[in-house]
Amino acid sequence: MSDPPLLEVEELIVEIPTRRGTLRPVDGVSFTIGRGEILGVVGESGAGKSITGAAIIGLLERPIRIGGGRVTLGGTRLDTLGEPELRRVRGARIGTIFQDPSTSLNPLKRVGDQLAETALAHLDISRGEARDRALRALVDVGIPAAAERLDAWPHEFSGGMRQRVVIALALIGEPELVIADEPTTALDVSVQAQILALLRRLCTERGVGVMLVTHDMGVIAETTDRVAVLYAGRVAEVGPTRRVLTEALHPYTRGLMGSTPDASPERDARERLAQIPGSMPGLTALPPGCAFHPRCPEAMTRCATDRPHPAVRGDTRVWCWLHPPDEPPAERRP
């Protein structure tokens, strides 16, 4: 990638201090997102994908805190910002879309007012201009009869329409980055496709980088440019989506692909789904060395004692002793 990345996450650590010791739901996660690029962050429950997103926006609830690493957005370090500056960055430079629209939309405010207020808070414009932008935002996300809908309340919209409003709200402040956490999981599949296509179109058109957190591999395949696969708070591999999904380097990624059923008519329905034995360890029971090694069909002796160092293979970065690094891990980064 010739342009410098929009977002750089380097060795991010998130900690939860407990009476019995410090837990690390995110333990050395690294990836980048370019302008206009959609990075998928995929993993099963407990892998740390949502907490990573929360850490980037600075929405970790005490006592959860960033315990190490760096988060840099367009040259600005986010992990060291105080709360007032973080608040400014959140609306102006980072937009957020959550799974449940009711966490983003105030049920007691009309939709047009929420959009206009957000625009006013982050852009140097007049009230009239803000109202115009609110209308345009609704049109851009495909709300029919947008002029009338400006004065509607959130509960007057259907689920899919509400999520479109949330997208409008996330983009109206003209952010550089959008973090979308399971934005379509609660929606019917017919609406899901529309919402994802909308998100993709709007963000690539405007050069907005997107971090799309999901557990759904099909969504990853169809919507993202690159993907980071998370396991037990660590990255297994990160690289171009097609490459990672079809020629996975990490055994966990391969296992995940093999155990995912597919609706495609190409797939032979009788072929047995692969199974990964056991389940992802909880934070209090993380094994030493590589977190995946107890379940890994290709585990070696080293995997049980040493955590893998990252290695670069073409456009992909992988953390696995099957692919040891040729050089010290510090410099290169896809």
Partner 1 sequence: MTAGGDTQSGQPLGDDPPLVEIEGLSRRFDVSSAWLNRIVRRESRRILTAVDDVSFRMVRGETYALVGESGSGKSTIAKMIVGLLAPSDGVVRVAGTDPANASGEALAAFRRRVQMIFQDPYASLNPRWRVLDIVGEPMRVFALAKGRVEVERRVGALLEQVGLSAADAAKYPHEFSGGQRQRVGIARALASEPELIVCDEPTSALDVSVQAQVLNLMRDLQRELGLTYLFITHDLSVVRYMADTIGVLYLGRLVESAPRETLFTEPAHPYTRMLLDAAPRLDGFGREHAIDGGEVPDPIRPPSGCHYHPRCVYRVDGCDERYPPVRPIGARTVRCFEAERVLSGTRDV
Q: Which residues bind partner 1 (CB under 8 A)?
A: 44-45, 142, 158-161, 188-194, 197, 215-219, 221-223, 241-242, 245-246, 255-257, 259-267, 269-270, 272-276, 279-280
**Closer CB to partner 1, 255 or 310, in the complex:** 255
- If the CB atoms of residues 266 and 326 are measured against partner 1, the closer one turns out to be 266
CB-wise, 30 or 50, nearer to partner 1? 50
Q: What is the nearest approach in angstroms of partner 1 to the Cβ of residue 184?
A: 9
Judged by beta carbon, residue 206 or residue 215, the one nearer partner 1 is: 215
To partner 1, the closest distance from the beta carbon of 221 in angstroms equals 5
Residue 275 CB, shortest distance to partner 1, in Å, is: 5
Minimum separation from the CB atom of position 266 to partner 1 (A): 7
- In angstroms, give the least distance from the CB of 58 to partner 1: 28
The residue (of 85 and 315) whose beta carbon lies closer to partner 1 is 315
Amino acid at 46: G
Which of residues 130 and 221 has its CB atom nearest to partner 1 in the complex? Answer: 221
What's the token pair of residue 48?
């740390």
Minimal distance, residue 202 CB to partner 1, in Å: 16
